[in-house]
Amino acid sequence: MSTDQAAAPPVLIECQRQGGIAFPLRRPTISVAVAGLDEADRQALMRLVQAADLASQPAAFPAPGYPDALETQLTVAWPDHSATVRFRDGDGHPAPLDELAGWVLRHKR
C-alpha cells in the first residue's frame, strides 16, 4: 500500500453485487460516505480498507466460472483517486476483501 493511501482516509466506499443462485440481476450499489460515520466506525473502516489494500489487487480476479458464484465489485475513493476491484466466490481473492464488502453491506442495513 502506498504511503499516501495509508495516510489519507477514504471518502467513500461502494459495494455492488450480482449473480449467485438467488438474484441474477445487478443489485443497487451500496455507498458509505466516511464523513457520516462516527469515530469508532471510521476507525473500523480504516482498518478494513488498509487490510483490503485495494491498490495492490488486480482490477479483476480471473473468474473460474463456478456455478452460482456471487460477484462483488468494491470501490474505495480517496479525495484525489479511487481503486476498484471485482472478485467472485472461489477465485482466490484475499479474505479482507470479503470482510470490507461485508462491513459495507451490513453498515447500510
Partner 1 sequence: MCQHAGCPPHVCFIIPPHMMEHVATNASDPTLRKRALHNLYHQGQLRGMRASMNQFAFAGLGTGTKQRTVYDAQHGGDLPGTLVRSEGQPDGQDVAVNEAYAYAGQTYDFYLEVMKRNSVDDKGMRLDSTVHYSTDYDNAFWNGQQMVYGDGDGEIFDRFTKCLDVIGHELTHGVTQFTAGLTYSSQSGALNESFSDVFGSLIKQYAAGDTADQADWLIGEGLLIPKAGTNRTALRSMKAPGTAYDDPTLGKDPQPATMKDYYSGSDDNYGVHINSGIPNHAFYLAATAIGGKAWETAGLIWYETLTTRLQLWSEFKDAAAATREVAQKHGAAAAKAVDDAWTAVGL
d(CA 15, CA 75): 6
**Which grid cell is 14?**
461502494
48 versus 78: smaller Cβ distance to partner 1: 48
Min. distance of Cβ 98 from partner 1 in angstroms? 5
Shortest distance, CB of residue 8 to partner 1, whole angstroms?
Answer: 28
Task: Choose, by CB under 8 A, the member of 8, 26, 29, 79 that binds partner 1.
Answer: 26
108 forms bridges with which residues in the sheet? none
Q: Which of residues 46-75 bind partner 1 (CB under 8 A)?
A: 64-70
CB 17 within 8 A of CB 71: yes
User: For cell 453485487, what's the residue?
Assistant: 17
Asked if 19 and 69 touch (Cβ cutoff 8 Å), the reply is: yes
Q: Based on the shown chain and the rule CB under 8 A, indicate whether residue 107 belongs to the binding site for partner 1.
A: no
Which residues contribute to the site for partner 1 (CB under 8 A)? 18-26, 64-70, 89-90, 95, 98-99, 102, 105-106, 109
